[in-house]
């Protein structure tokens, strides 16, 4: 079994895109375990989600689709 230092060392060697996915997975696991108080806390922790929601709020409702694509 790996110790914390060995795990941290392995994580530090990951390329950025993979590291981002690992961190998102860790956040998801924390959400499942009940560490986050609500969905907003979890979604805010996922890279890009908060910014995407803010951008989406700027779109007038009249420009939105009535159905999913």
Q: How far apart are CA 64 and CA 32, in angstroms?
A: 32
In tens digits, the chain (69 residues) has pLDDT values of 568 888 888 888 999 999 988 888 888 888 777 776 777 777 777 888 889 988 988 999 888 888 877
pTM: 0.46
Residues in CB range of 24: below 8 A, 6 or more apart: 46, 47
**For the chain, what are the domain ranges?**
15-63
């Amino acid at each position: 079994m790996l110790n914390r230092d060995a795990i941290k060392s392995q994580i530090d060697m990951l390329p950025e895109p993979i590291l981002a996915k690992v961190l998102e997975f860790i956040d998801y696991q924390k959400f499942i375990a009940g560490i986050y108080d609500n969905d907003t806390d979890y979604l805010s922790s996922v890279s890009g989600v908060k910014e995407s929601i803010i951008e989406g709020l700027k779109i007038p409702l009249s420009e939105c689709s009535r159905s999913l694509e």
